[in-house]
Amino acid sequence: MKQIIYIANATSENIEVWNLYNNGDMELIQKVQTNGQVQPISIIKNKNLLYAGIRPNNRIVTYCIDKNGLLAKKGESIIPGTPNYISFDSSKKFLFCSSYHANCISVSPLDENGIPKNPIQIIHNIEGCHASKFNSKYNVLFVTSLKNDCIYLYYLTDFGILKSTEQKLVYSQIKSGPRHIIFHPNQNFSYTINELNGTVDVWKIYEENNLLKVKNIQNTKLSNNLIEKKYWSSDIHITMCGNFLYVSDRYLNSISLFHINKSDNTIVFFKKYDTEEQPRSFCIDGNNSYLIVVGQKSNKLSLYKIYQKTGELEKVNQYKTSEGPLWITSLVI
């Protein structure tokens, strides 16, 4: 079993491939030029495929992942608008691409080789469409609208067409700017990082009279409810055990750790860590042993050991990356 870390570097226009060893050491094993500013990357693990969103010639490049984690280009697909987030449905038949600048989300079927076909649906007027995440339990795609302070909710039909739920959307606080979203492992709760006001929203997902309901049950600050002068929050991830939630902020150059209550899945601030300059993206490795964060301005990555009982972080390594790391993800092969 190997742990591979992939880093998308927009300024250097490449994807780095790193080995992550059990002791926390890392080794750079490949650099793949992307011929454009690479931003989001996402992996279909059971197909050993990596998808990368490239601009300014807006497209998604599909890469095969070999037995050592190395990448080889397999296909290229055109998409509407600059790619800001790539995700999939639970069956991995459809690719969703959010475009912040084009204010839209597109649905692209994947062919038998996993290559995205032309979009079969484009939903416009989602202002600041930053991310989308599919909830497999309720068959619903959550789509964040950063500029309109809301999250749109869509059922996915068998044919890959998105259809508004009865509720249609939920609103966050005014001028909060919902950005990225993650689900609890039980799929009954979601957590949203709000870019503009430095808060995390907790949403309860349930059915009532056979209708989907999404309800806000908590909103809390990144740092023990202390009010900072400015926020520029970015990424959010949860451990597989469902006990620990982490969020990053690019203005504060920080990672915040929250403990998740087992009774109601609300969160409690535990600790804030200083980290790389402008931490736009971070990931948790496949074994939930390490958290790795990249600094968009520092052009470095920091690797932290996760203490399993408390979720606390201990920095164990730091490495130089290419310029402008914007996205990081992991794979166990």
Q: What is the pLDDT of residues 278-320, one digit of tens each?
A: 999 999 999 999 999 999 999 999 999 999 999 999 999 999 9
CA angle (277 as vertex; 11, 100 as ends), nearest 5: 55
Q: In a 10 Å sphere around its CB, with 0-12 CB exposed, 13-18 middle and 19+ buried, how is residue 168 labelled?
A: exposed
The token pair at 157 is 């039909």
pLDDT at 228 over 90: no
The Cα–Cα gap between 314 and 302 comes to 10
> What DSSP string runs through 221-267?
ESSTTPPPS---EEEEEE-TTSSEEEEEETTTTEEEEEEEPTTT--E
The token pair at 209 is 């009279």
Average pLDDT over the chain reads: 97
pLDDT at 331 over 80: yes
pLDDT of residue 223: 83
In the block, tokens 């959307």 appear at 169
Q: How does DSSP classify residue 254?
A: E
The token pair at 37 is 């500013």
User: Above pLDDT 90, what percent of the chain?
Assistant: 97
Write the CA distances from 284 to 173, 237, 313, integer angstroms: 28, 7, 12
Adjacent-strand bridge partners of 248: 255
The Cα–Cα gap between 228 and 2 comes to 41
For 87-144, the pLDDT digits (tens) are: 999 999 999 999 999 999 999 999 999 999 999 999 999 999 999 999 999 999 999 9
Give residue 144's Cα distance to chain centre. 12
Q: CB-side exposure of 75: number of CA atoms within 13 Å?
A: 15
pTM equals: 0.97
Write the CA distances from 204 to 76, 181, 190, integer angstroms: 38, 13, 7
pLDDT of residue 94: 98
Give residues with Cβ within 8 angstroms of 226, minimum separation 6. none
pLDDT of residue 226: 66
Q: For the chain, what is the total number of helices (H) and then of strands (E)?
A: 0, 28
pLDDT at 1 over 90: no
The Cα–Cα gap between 30 and 263 comes to 44
pLDDT at 224 over 90: no
pLDDT of residue 67: 96
The terminus-to-terminus CA distance of the chain in angstroms comes to 6
pLDDT band at 69 (very low <50, low <70, confident <90, very high): very high
Adjacent-strand bridge partners of 96: 87, 107
pLDDT of residue 330: 97
The token pair at 151 is 């999250």
